[in-house]
C-alpha cells in the first residue's frame, strides 16, 4: 500500500492498452455525489474507458460513497465482500473507492478490504484514472487523499446522465458546524465558483438541449461568501433568468439562517426559477436547534416560508427532518409536529438520528430506539397527511410536466409516463394512444406536456386527462436519436434521487 501525494498523467501507451476497458460507477448518498459520479464517468471516458453495458461485468467498479447515512461503512464493506469472488474470477478487474467515506476512512479501506485497488477522496476525484493506472502498473493499492480542493470538480470532464436536466455545482464545502453533520470535515470549507463560470456551464448545457438545471451547494445562499458578495445567490438566480432556452431553474439546499429577502424577490421575479423551495428544518424545537448548533429558530423558519408564499403563492415547500436528536423530549418533538402542520410541507425527507463518529453530537446520550421509532412513525404520518392535503388541492388544475426517465416504476403496466411539475411534484400522466402499434412514442423524455390533474396521492399526482399541449424539445430529439433502433449507445435518464444533500 502506498500513500502518495498527488496523481500523475496517464502515459499514452497505457491509455491505448486500456481503451477497451469498461467501467461502472455505483453512487450512494446525495445529489452532490450523483453529480460527482457524472464527473467520474466523464473522467474515465476521457481516459479511454467505456461504460459497461447493462448486465455485463465491468473491468473497473468505482464506489462513490456517502458517510452521512447510517451503517454506510457496513454497507460498503458488504458490497466489497460480494465483489471479491467476481474480481478473483476476472483477470485485471479493479475496484476503486471514493467519496466521503473514503475521505474519512482513508487507508483503513485497503486494510479491511485488501482487494481494493484505489482509494481517493472528495478533493481529488480528478486523480482517479491516473490512480487506476498506477495501481495496475505497480500491482499495488494506491491511496491518495488530499486535504483541500485542488481543482473545482466542475472543470473536469463530465458524462451527463440526462439529456434534459443537469446539475450545476456553485459551491462545495460548508462553513457551518452543525453538531450532527460530518460534511464540513469531509468536504472542507466553502469554496465558491465565480458566477461567470457557473453561467458558462449553464449556457453550454442549454446548447446541448438541457432545459432544467439544479444549482448545487451545501448551503447555496451563503454563495458569494468567498468572494465577498452576500447578494451573489440572488444575482445568480436573476442571471439564470437571462439564459435563453433555459426553462427551469432549481437549487438545493438553502440554509434558513442565511436566507435573505433578495433571494425571495429574485425567485419571484425570475420566471424560469421554479416555484419550489427545499429548505431543511431538521427540528421545530428551538432547544434542539441550539443543541444542533443551527442558528435560526422555528419562528424565523416559518417567517421565511410566509414570505416565500406571499411572493410565490404556488410554491411547493419541502424539508429535511431529524427525529430523536440526543436530548429530544416529547415536548421538543411536539414542537416539530407543530411546525410541520404550520408549514404545510409538500414533502419531507425524514431521518431517525444516528450518531456519526467524529461529530460533536456522537457522544451525547441517545434517545431510546423505541421512542425514536414511535416518534418517527407519528412524524411520517403527519407529513403524509399534510402533503396529501396539498396534493388534493391540485386536482382539477392544469400542470406542466417535464417528461422524465425512471420516475415511474409502474409506467409500463399503467401505460402512463412520468415527470416533474414546475413545483417539483411527481406526476404520472396518461400518454396519447399510439397511431400505429410499434410506432416510436409521440411524447419523449425531455419533452414538455400540459395536462390536468385527476387524482392525488400523498407522494404523487396522476393526470389521466387528455393532453392539452405537447412541446417537442431538443432534449427529446436527443433522447429519440439515442434510442433509434440502429443506435449502439445507451443513454439513461437522470436517476431518481431519493435523498437530499444531507445538508443545508
Among 129, 184, 390, 424, contact with ligand SF4 (rule: CB under 6 A): 184
We find the least distance from the C-beta atom of residue 500 to ligand SF4, in angstroms, to be 10
Stretch that binds ligand SF4, among 89-97, 175-183, 475-483, 491-499 (CB under 6 A): 175-183
Residue 154 vs 503, nearer CB to ligand SF4: 503
Asked if 285 interacts with ligand SF4 (CB under 6 A), we say no
Phi, psi values for residue 352, rounded to 5°: -85, 130
Asked if 183 interacts with ligand SF4 (CB under 6 A), we say yes
Stretch that binds ligand SF4, among 27-35, 125-133, 172-180, 341-349 (CB under 6 A): 172-180
Phi, psi values for residue 235, rounded to 5°: -65, -40
Among 142, 162, 211, 218, contact with ligand SF4 (rule: CB under 6 A): 218
Radius of gyration of the chain (CA): 23
We find the least distance from the C-beta atom of residue 333 to ligand SF4, in angstroms, to be 20
Among 47, 174, 279, 315, contact with ligand SF4 (rule: CB under 6 A): 174
Asked if 214 interacts with ligand SF4 (CB under 6 A), we say no
- 264's enclosing H/E stretch is helix 261-269
C-alpha cell at 15: 491509455
- 424's enclosing H/E stretch is none
Can you say whether residue 278 is alpha, beta or left, with left for phi > 0 and alpha for psi between -120 and 50 degrees?
A: beta
Residue 162 vs 218, nearer CB to ligand SF4: 218
Q: Is 85 buried (19+), middle (13-18) or exposed (0-12) by CB count in 10 A? A: exposed
We find the least distance from the C-beta atom of residue 344 to ligand SF4, in angstroms, to be 23
Closest of 56, 157, 20, 41 to residue 98, by C-alpha = 41
Coil, strand, or helix at residue 378?
helix
Asked if 298 interacts with ligand SF4 (CB under 6 A), we say no
Name residue, grid cell 483477470. Answer: 91
Name residue, grid cell 421509532. Answer: 373
We find the least distance from the C-beta atom of residue 187 to ligand SF4, in angstroms, to be 8
Residue 180 vs 376, nearer CB to ligand SF4: 180
Q: Is 499 buried (19+), middle (13-18) or exposed (0-12) by CB count in 10 A? A: middle
Asked if 181 interacts with ligand SF4 (CB under 6 A), we say yes
Cross-strand pairs, 321:
282, 350
Phi, psi values for residue 358, rounded to 5°: 95, -5
Asked if 219 interacts with ligand SF4 (CB under 6 A), we say yes
We find the least distance from the C-beta atom of residue 182 to ligand SF4, in angstroms, to be 8
Residues 97 and 76: beta-carbon distance below 8 Å? yes
Residues 262 and 304: beta-carbon distance below 8 Å? no
Residue 122 vs 211, nearer CB to ligand SF4: 122
Asked if 255 interacts with ligand SF4 (CB under 6 A), we say yes
We find the least distance from the C-beta atom of residue 450 to ligand SF4, in angstroms, to be 36
Q: What does the binding site for ligand SF4 look like in residue numbers (CB under 6 A)?
A: 174, 176, 178, 181, 183-184, 218-219, 255, 503-504
Amino acid at each position: 500500500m502506498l500513500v502518495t501525494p498527488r496523481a500523475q498523467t496517464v502515459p499514452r501507451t497505457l491509455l491505448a492498452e486500456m481503451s477497451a476497458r469498461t467501467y461502472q460507477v455505483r453512487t450512494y448518498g446525495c445529489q452532490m455525489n450523483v453529480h460527482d459520479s457524472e464527473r467520474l464517468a466523464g473522467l474515465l471516458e476521457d481516459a479511454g474507458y467505456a461504460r459497461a453495458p447493462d448486465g455485463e461485468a465491468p473491468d473497473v467498479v468505482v464506489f462513490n460513497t456517502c458517510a452521512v447515512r447510517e451503517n454506510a461503512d457496513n454497507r460498503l464493506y458488504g458490497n466489497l465482500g460480494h465483489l471479491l469472488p467476481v474480481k478473483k474470477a476476472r483477470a485485471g478487474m479493479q475496484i476503486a473507492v471514493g467519496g466521503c467515506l473514503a475521505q474519512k476512512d482513508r487507508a483503513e479501506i485497503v486494510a479491511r478490504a485488501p482487494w481494493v485497488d484505489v482509494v481517493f477522496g472528495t478533493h481529488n476525484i480528478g486523480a482517479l484514472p491516473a490512480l487506476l493506472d498506477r495501481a495496475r502498473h505497480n500491482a499495488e493499492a494506491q491511496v491518495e487523499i488530499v486535504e483541500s480542493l485542488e481543482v473545482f470538480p466542475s472543470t473536469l470532464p463530465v458524462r451527463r446522465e440526462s439529456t434534459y436536466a443537469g446539475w450545476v455545482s456553485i459551491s462545495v464545502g460548508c462553513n457551518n458546524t452543525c453538531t450532527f453533520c460530518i460534511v464540513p470535515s469531509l468536504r472542507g470549507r466553502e469554496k465558491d465558483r465565480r458566477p461567470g463560470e457557473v453561467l458558462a456551464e449553464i449556457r453550454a448545457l442549454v446548447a446541448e438541449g438541457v432545459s432544467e438545471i439544479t444549482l448545487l451547494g451545501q448551503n447555496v445562499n451563503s454563495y458569494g461568501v468567498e468572494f465577498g458578495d452576500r447578494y451573489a445567490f440572488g444575482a445568480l438566480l436573476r442571471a439564470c433568468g437571462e439564459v435563453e432556452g433555459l426553462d427551469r431553474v432549481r437549487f438545493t439546499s438553502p440554509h434558513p439562517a442565511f436566507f435573505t429577502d433578495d433571494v425571495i424577490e429574485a425567485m419571484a421575479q425570475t420566471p424560469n426559477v421554479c416555484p419550489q423551495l427545499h429548505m431543511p428544518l431538521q427540528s421545530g424545537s428551538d432547544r434542539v436547534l441550539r443543541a444542533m448548533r443551527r442558528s435560526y429558530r422555528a419562528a424565523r423558519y416559518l417567517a421565511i416560508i410566509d414570505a416565500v408564499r406571499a411572493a410565490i403563492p404556488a410554491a411547493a415547500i419541502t424539508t429535511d427532518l431529524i427525529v430523536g436528536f440526543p436530548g429530544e423530549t416529547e415536548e421538543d418533538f411536539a414542537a416539530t409536529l407543530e411546525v410541520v402542520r404550520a408549514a404545510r410541507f409538500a414533502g419531507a425527507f425524514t431521518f431517525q438520528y444516528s450518531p456519526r463518529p467524529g461529530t460533536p453530537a456522537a457522544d451525547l446520550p441517545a434517545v431510546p430506539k423505541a421512542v425514536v421509532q414511535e416518534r418517527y412513525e407519528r412524524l411520517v404520518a403527519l407529513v403524509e397527511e399534510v402533503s396529501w392535503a396539498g396534493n388534493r388541492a391540485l386536482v382539477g388544475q392544469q400542470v406542466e410536466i417535464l417528461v422524465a426517465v425512471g420516475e415511474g416504476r409502474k409506467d409500463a403496466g399503467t401505460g402512463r409516463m412520468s415527470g416533474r411539475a414546475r413545483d417539483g411534484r411527481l406526476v404520472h400522466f396518461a400518454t396519447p394512444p399510439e397511431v400505429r402499434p410499434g410506432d416510436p412514442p409521440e411524447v419523449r423524455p425531455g419533452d414538455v406536456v400540459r395536462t390536468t390533474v385527476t387524482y392525488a396521492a400523498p407522494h404523487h399526482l396522476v393526470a389521466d386527462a387528455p393532453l392539452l399541449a405537447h412541446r417537442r424539445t431538443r432534449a427529446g430529439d436527443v433522447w429519440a436519436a439515442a434510442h433509434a433502433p440502429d443506435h449502439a449507445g445507451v443513454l439513461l435518464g437522470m436517476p431518481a434521487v431519493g435523498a437530499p444533500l444531507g445538508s443545508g
